[in-house]
Structure 1
C-alpha cells in the first residue's frame, strides 16, 4: 500500500515538474518576443494610443487619488476643460490591475504599465494552460500544443504594448471560465462572481463580449454533461433540468455585474451622452445579415481572434464530422459572432462593426481546436474525410474571394494547405511533431510579424515626452501663482495631450474615446481648430492664441516659442514656460450677446473672435458684431503641380517639402489665420504644417476618419518673426486649394477683454468650483466649462437653472450686483451605481453563504492538520503503517 502511494506521489511530482518546465519554456518564448521587438532602443509601449492614453490616464487616476483621497472622483477639471470623470473610466479607472500601482507611488506609471502588461500575458497563458488541462481526456500533447497557439494568438501579446484595454481583462475572463467549471462540478459560485466583477471593472467594453463568451461556454458545459450521463449524475445537482443550472449561472453573472455597477452605470451614462459611431460610415440592415467568412476578424489580425488556419479546419471538422451536439453548439456560436456582421455589431454595443469585440472568444475557438487535435491524436478522423472538408473550405474561400477582394484569402489558403498536408503526413507516420511543429512555426511567424509591425516609443523620444525639466519648469511657474488658470504644453502635444503636470495643471485639451459632445463639436466643427491626429475625438493643445485666450490658458510650456502676447517667465533645461496676462477667467459675464443663429452663420475664424467679446445664447438677441479680420493677398509661389480645377497637388512619398514665405507683418504683433481645403481622402494621411502647427486628414482606409477636410491655422509668435514656414511631411499625396489668408492685430484681440467682467477668486476642490463676480447691470454669464447635465448651480446660496452658452459651455443669467457662484458636479447615475453595488454585495454574501461556510471549514481543517503535523513532528511518536495510526510506545 505504501509503495503504491509513493508511486502516485512521485507521478504527481513528475506531472508538476512537467508543468513547470513547459510553462518556463512558454515564458521564455514570450519574453524573447518582447526583447526582440524592443531591443535596446525602444520601450515596451506603442507610439500611438499606449503613449497618449493607456500609460498616462492611469497615472492621472493615481495622482488624483493621492491628492484628494477619493477613490471615486466624479469630475475632472484637469482634462478637456472639465469633464465627467467617467468619460475616462475606460482607461483603467478602478481596474484591479491599475489599483495595485496605487501602492507603488515611486514607480513611474509607464514602467508599471509595461511590466504589468507582460505579467498579464503570462498569467493568461498559465490560467489557460490549467483550464485546458482540466477538461476530460485532454492529453498532455494537446494541452502543450494549444497553449502555445494561445500564447501566439494575434491580440494577446500585441495589445500588451498597443491597446492595453483590449487584453488586460483576459485573466479574469479565463478565471470566469474556470468558475463555470467549478459551478458545475462543486456548486461553487465565488470564483465565477468575482471574476465577472473584475472583468467588468477592468474593461466594461470587452466585458460585454466576455460575458457572452462565458455564457456560451456555460451552455456548452451543460450539453457536454448531458451527453455523458455518468458524469452528469455525479454532479452536486445531478439529474436537475437545464433551467436549474441556467438560474444558478444567471444569478452568479447578474450578481457579478451588480457588484461592478459603481463603474458600469455612470460609465454607461457618460457613453450615452458622449459617444457615437465615429467611423463615419453608415451600416445597412441587409449587410448585417450577409455572412462574410472567412474574414479578417478571425485570422492573424490582432484586432480579432488572431488564430491560424488550423482553427478554421477544427471548426469545420467538428461541425461536419463530430457527433457531439455540445461541440457543434460551440462551433455554431463562434461562427455566428465571427461570420455574421450582426454578431459583431451587437457585441460592439450597436456602435460599429469591428472585429475587436471577438477577442474574448479566443479561448473558445482554441478549445474547439483542442478537441479537434485531441480526436486527431486518438485517430478519430480519416484522411479522406479531412481532405473533403479541406477541399470544401477552399471552395468557400474561392467563392468569398470572387465576391470580396481580400488579400488575406491568399494567406489562409497557403496556411490551410500546409496544415492539411502535414496532418495527412501525421496520419501516415503517427508522430505528433509532424503536424504540430509546422503549425507552431506558422503561429510563431504570425506572432512575431504582428508584434514587430507596431511602432514602439523610442527611448530618446520617451525621454523627451517625460522630460523632468518640463515638470520642473511648469512646477516653478504654477506654484508661484495663487489664482486659478489653465496651462498648456504645446510641445509634442499630439502625444502628451493627456499628461497632467501636477495638481494645479488644468488643460483645455484631451484625447478620449468618450467625450463631452458639445465641447468636441465646438473645437472640431464650429471653430475648426487645428487637428494633428487622424481621429475626430481628440482636442489637441496648439499654438492658437485666440482659443488660448478664451479658455484662460495663462501659462504655456514650450521648447520653441509661444503665441503672441506670451512672455517667458522661467526655464528648466530647454523648456520655457510663457505667461499671458490677457487670458480670460474660468467664468465671465458680458454686456454683449449674440444669437445662436447668427453665431452659426459665421465662418470658423469669425466665430473664434466673436466668442472673445460676445456670449452666444439660444435667444432672440441683437448683436453689434462686425468683422475685424482683414484679407491678405500673398504671392506664396509654391512650386507645386497645379491641377485643371486649380488645386495644388503635393506628393512627398519620396521626401518632405518645405517652403518659406515672407509676410509683411511681424507675427509678434499680428495674428495670421490661414485656411485651405483638402479635396478628398488620400491613400495615406494628408498633412500640412505651418510654423509648427499641424493639420492632418485621415487616410482613405482609416478606421476612424477625422473628416478634417478644412485646414485652419492660427499663426502668431512670441518672438520677432515674419516668416511662414510651410511644410509637407514625407509620405503624403493629396490635393489642396489655394491658401486663404486673414489677419488681425494682436492689440485688437487683447482689447476685447475690456468688454467683459471676469469671475474672481476662482477655486476648485474635488467636484466643486466657486468664484465671485460683481456686475453693474443684468447680464448673461458663461463659464469655459463644457455643458453637462450633471451640474447644480448655486448663486448666493440659491439653486438656479442653467443652459448652454457659446454652443458648448455652461452658462446662466445674473442680475446686477455682487454674487457668490458655486458649481457642484455629480456624475449621472453615480448614486444609483453605488447603491446597486451595495445591493450586489448583499446578494453575493447571501447567495454564496454555503460557499463561505465550506471555505471557512476548509481553512480551519487546514490549520488543524498543520497543528497536528507540527505536534507529531515534535513528539516523534506517530508513524503511518498500513493506513493506520500506531504508537511506538
Structure 2
C-alpha cells in the first residue's frame, strides 16, 4: 500500500481518482470544464477579493513608497517616449535627471511584457494599467500555482489549501502595489516551473524558453533567484522521477531473479554484479550530464534572448552607480574567502511574516524540516536540503543581492518551490498516519512512539528557533505572533494526528489542520501588515497628484514656448517624491531622478560640488530643490508651485496651482567664452561656488591652458585665486551671523559652542533665528554647517525657511550620509530665519551664514546669449537618442550644457566628430569655433550592439532546440535504460 501511494506521488500528471476530487461539469456552456477549472476560477476571484479587502477599501491599488514615484511614472514615460519616437529599443532618456542612459531605468520595466502590452492601449491611463495588471498578475499567481501543484498527484484538498497558503503570502499581495519588481515576475516563474515538468515528461521546451525570457525581461534582478530555484527544482525532479523510478524497477527485478546456490556460481554472480555496479554508476553519471545539458540549452536560450536588456543594463549598472551600502571587503571575490559567509545561520524572518522576505507562516519552516527529517528516500529530500542551504548560508544572500548586502527580498523567487514542499509534506503526513494506524493495531508500540517523535520533532525545532530569534533585528514585533503560531500549529497537529484515521466527516477524511490554521494565520497577518504599513494612497490624494489640469498646463506652455528648457513641479515632501520621475508631456524635461542606478557625474555634482540640500532619507532620491541658483543653472524656465520662488514671476494662475516663469534661466545648451579653469573654480567656497556659475562657465584645466597662446597661464592648473575670476565674477554675498536662541528647558536644550550649536530635543521644534548683520536689500540667505549626530542610529533633520536637510541613521540600507548641510533660500520679510529642529541630539559645527542677492541680470544673460536652437526637439533625431540644432558663434568659445557627462555621447559639428569633455565639472562640453554651425549630438548605450547580437544568437539556439527536440529520444526512457542494472547485465 505504501509503495503504491508513494509511486502515485512520484509520478506527476498521472490521472487517478481521489476521494474528494471534484467532478467535471457537463451542462451547457460549461461543458468540458473540470473541477480543477472551477477551483482555479475560485482562486482567481479569491485573490481579487483580497485586493479589495486589504487595499482598495483604503485607497488605490498603489502605494506612496515606490509605486507612485517609480513604477507607475517610469512605465508611463516609456510609453510616451515610444509614441513620440516609435523606437522600441531606446538608448537615452532626455527628459529625466537632466538626461540619462535609459538602461538606468531598465529595472522598472523598460522591456517588461506587461508594459509593452500597454502600448497597444493608449486610451488606458498608465497608472490604471499598472494597478489593473498588478492585481491580475497576483490572481494569475494563485491560478498557475494551483495548476502546477495539482499535477503532482496530491489530494485535491491538499492542492487547494497549499494554493491558498501560497496566495496568502504577505510578500505577494503587499508588493503587488508597492515594489512591483519584487513579485511581478512570479507568473512567468510558475510557467517556467510548468515548463520544467513538460521538459522532463514530454520533452517539450518551448514553454520553458518563453517563460524564462518573460521572467528576465520583467525583473532581471529577481530572475537570478528564479533561475536558481528552477535549477534546484530540475535537479531534484530528475533524481526523484527518473533515477528513482529506474532504481525501484531494478530492485524489483533483482528480487524476482533466481540466485545460484553453489559457491563458485554465486561468487561469479557477485563479481558480475559488482562490475555491473561500476558500469551502472558510470552510465548514471553520463546520463545525468546529458540530461543537464538538455536542460541547460533551453535555459541558456532564454538568457541569450534577453541579451538586448541584460548586457546594456549590466553596462549601465557597472559603469554608473547602483543602490546599496557597498559590498563586503574585497568585493565579490572577498565573499568566498570570508569564513563568516559560510557559517550557517537560520533567520526566521527570511521565511516568516514580513513582506520583505518570503512572507509565509511558521508552518513553512516546519514543513521544510519535516521533509528533511521525515521517513522518505533521500532523493525526495534533496530540494528541501537545497532550500535550507540557500536560506541558511549567508553567501547566497549576498550573491543574490549583487554582493551589496544580505536582504531577504531576494529569496521571494523560492516561494513556489517552498510551498510545493509544504504540499508534499502534508501528503506524506496522510501516508504516515495510515501507516502508524496499521502499526498501532499490530501492537508495534516502540515503533509507533519513535515514529510519532520523529514526526513531531520539526515543531519542536521551529519552536526553539522562534524562541532563539527573540533578539533578532526587526523580529521583536513578530515574536509573540511567531510563538503563538508554532504552538497552535503543534496543537492542531496533535488533534489531527490522534483523530481516528478511519473516522470520516461526511464521507471525507479530516483535512490537515496545521495547514488550514496556518493559512488562516497568514490571512489575518496580511490584513494587519497591510494596515500597519499604511502606505496606501487615498483616492483624494491620488486625484490631486494625477490632476489632468497639470498636464494641460504643461501642454499649453509647450505650445506657446516650444524651446529647449526644463519644467519642474515643487510642493510639499509627498508631492516632491511623487513627481520625482513624472513626465506629463514628452516635451517636458526635468532635472530630478529617483532610480537605483544613475549617472554618477550628476549625482556627485549635486551632492559634493554644488551642495544641493538632501531632504529625504534615501540617497538615491535626487528630488527637486528650491535652490533658485540651481534652477537657473539647470535651465528650469517654468515651475509649477504654490508659492513664488526667488527669481521667478507669475506666468499663469490655474487656481489649485500657479505657473512661474524664470526672469533669466540658462539654456540647456549654449556657447560661451566667459570661462575659468576647474582648479580656479574649486578654490571657491560655499556659496560663491554657486554664484560663479551664474555668469561664468568652468572648463578643464588643460583646455584653459591651451587657450592661452602666449603661455602666460601655463600654471593655471595650480592657480588657486587667479585674476581671471576677479575680472569675471564679483560675489554679491557677504558674511552674516546666524544667531539661534539658546535655551535649557525640559525636552529642549540649545547651547552655543565655539563654532556652532549643540541641540538636544525630544520632539521637533521651531525657533526663530536672528540675522543682525544681514546685507541691506538681501533677498537670499545661504547657510552651511557640518552635523555630528550623537545618536547615529537615528535620523535627524534641520529645516531653514522651508528647505530641509536630513541625515539618515547609519543602519538604513540607503543611508544618505549627508553630514554637510547646505541651504540657499529666500529671505523672510522680517529679516529672520525660521528653523525647524528635528528630534534628536546633534552638534552643528563650522556654522556659516551669508546674505545677498543674485548676480545682475545683464551679466547673467551675457553668458547665455549664444544658445543652441533645436531642430525637431528631442524626439526626431535617431529615434529620440540624439538631437540636432544650429548655433551662431561670434568668436571661438565652448559648448556649455546642463546634460550630465557620459563618455558614450558622440558630437558632430558640421558633420565632423568633435571631442567632448567635462564643463562645469560634470556636464557635457566641447570647443566650438566661430561661425554658423550644425550640431548633432547622439548617444549610444554601451553594450547595446553586443546585446542585439546576443539576442540573435539566442533566437538561433531556441530554434535549434525546438526543431531538434522531436528528433531526440525521450529523456525518461533513455534515463531508465542507462541506469537499469538489468540492461547492464544483459549487455555484459
Which residue does 2:321 correspond to in 1? 275
Please tell me whether the aligned partners of residues 741 and 750 of structure 2 are also in contact (alpha carbons under 8 angstroms). no
Deviation at 1:750, TM superposition (A): 6.5
**SS of structure 2 residue aligned to 1:42:** coil
CA separation of 1:839/1:282 partners in 2, compared to 1, >3 Å: closer, same or farther? closer
Which residue does 1:378 correspond to in 2? 431
Please tell me whether the aligned partners of residues 536 and 705 of structure 1 are also in contact (alpha carbons under 8 angstroms). yes
Which residue does 1:194 correspond to in 2? 210
CA separation of 1:169/1:698 partners in 2, compared to 1, >3 Å: closer, same or farther? same
Please tell me whether the aligned partners of residues 527 and 607 of structure 1 are also in contact (alpha carbons under 8 angstroms). yes
Which residue does 2:734 correspond to in 1? 630
Q: Distance in 2 between matches of 1:721 and 1:558?
A: 23
Which stretch of structure 1 is more off in the superposition, 702-711 or 389-398?
Answer: 389-398
CA separation of 1:668/1:95 partners in 2, compared to 1, >3 Å: closer, same or farther? farther
1:400-434 superposed Cα distances (whole Å, 9 cap, x missing partner): 66898953555444322322222122110153253
Q: Distance in 2 between matches of 1:304 and 1:98?
A: 26
Which stretch of structure 1 is more off in the superposition, 36-45 or 8-17?
Answer: 8-17
**SS of structure 2 residue aligned to 1:611:** helix
Deviation at 1:320, TM superposition (A): 2.5
Q: Distance in 2 between matches of 1:661 and 1:460?
A: 40
Which residue does 1:861 correspond to in 2? none
**Higher RCO (CA < 8 A, seq sep 6+):** 2
Question: TM-score under structure 1 normalisation?
Answer: 0.88
The aligned runs of 1:212-611 (5 Å cut-off) are 212-229=228-245, 241-276=287-322, 278-279=324-325, 282=328, 285-379=338-432, 382-396=451-465, 407=476, 411-429=481-499, 431-432=510-511, 434-454=513-533, 455-491=535-571, 492-562=575-645, 564-611=646-693
Q: Distance in 2 between matches of 1:337 and 1:409?
A: 23
CA separation of 1:10/1:527 partners in 2, compared to 1, >3 Å: closer, same or farther? closer
Please tell me whether the aligned partners of residues 70 and 595 of structure 2 are also in contact (alpha carbons under 8 angstroms). yes
Please tell me whether the aligned partners of residues 197 and 260 of structure 1 are also in contact (alpha carbons under 8 angstroms). yes
- Whose Rg is larger? 2
Which residue does 2:971 correspond to in 1? none
Please tell me whether the aligned partners of residues 312 and 944 of structure 2 are also in contact (alpha carbons under 8 angstroms). yes
Among 111, 132, 156, which residue is 2:172 paired with? 156
1:501-539 superposed Cα distances (whole Å, 9 cap, x missing partner): 212101111111111111111112222212222111121
What RMSD over aligned residues (CA atoms) do the two structures have, in Å? 3.2
Q: Distance in 2 between matches of 1:404 and 1:745?
A: 50
Please tell me whether the aligned partners of residues 191 and 207 of structure 2 are also in contact (alpha carbons under 8 angstroms). yes
CA separation of 1:54/1:9 partners in 2, compared to 1, >3 Å: closer, same or farther? closer
List alignment gaps of at least 5 residues for structure 1: 855-889
1:432-472 superposed Cα distances (whole Å, 9 cap, x missing partner): 25333322222112222222233111222212211222222
Q: Distance in 2 between matches of 1:426 and 1:529?
A: 64
Equivalent residues, number: 841
Which stretch of structure 1 is more off in the superposition, 379-388 or 574-583?
Answer: 379-388
List alignment gaps of at least 5 residues for structure 2: 1-15, 27-31, 251-282, 330-334, 437-450, 501-509, 703-715, 969-988
Q: Distance in 2 between matches of 1:477 and 1:318?
A: 65
Q: Distance in 1 between matches of 2:420 and 2:516?
A: 19
1:70-104 superposed Cα distances (whole Å, 9 cap, x missing partner): 11111111001011111111111111111222122
Q: Distance in 1 between matches of 2:395 and 2:568?
A: 43
Deviation at 1:589, TM superposition (A): 3.8
Which residue does 2:797 correspond to in 1? 687
Please tell me whether the aligned partners of residues 477 and 569 of structure 1 are also in contact (alpha carbons under 8 angstroms). no
Q: Distance in 2 between matches of 1:526 and 1:459?
A: 41
**SS of structure 1 residue aligned to 2:597:** coil
CA separation of 1:97/1:544 partners in 2, compared to 1, >3 Å: closer, same or farther? same
CA separation of 1:799/1:250 partners in 2, compared to 1, >3 Å: closer, same or farther? same
**SS of structure 2 residue aligned to 1:103:** coil
Which residue does 1:706 correspond to in 2? 816
Deviation at 1:737, TM superposition (A): 1.7
Q: Distance in 2 between matches of 1:392 and 1:245?
A: 37
Among 850, 858, 870, which residue is 1:762 paired with? 870
CA separation of 1:8/1:367 partners in 2, compared to 1, >3 Å: closer, same or farther? closer
1:585-640 superposed Cα distances (whole Å, 9 cap, x missing partner): 22234434444444445435333223331314153545533672311224343765
Which residue does 2:850 correspond to in 1? 742
Q: Distance in 2 between matches of 1:831 and 1:487?
A: 33
Q: Distance in 2 between matches of 1:667 and 1:231?
A: 94
CA separation of 1:650/1:762 partners in 2, compared to 1, >3 Å: closer, same or farther? farther
Which stretch of structure 1 is more off in the superposition, 425-434 or 173-182?
Answer: 425-434
Deviation at 1:314, TM superposition (A): 1.5
CA separation of 1:277/1:96 partners in 2, compared to 1, >3 Å: closer, same or farther? closer
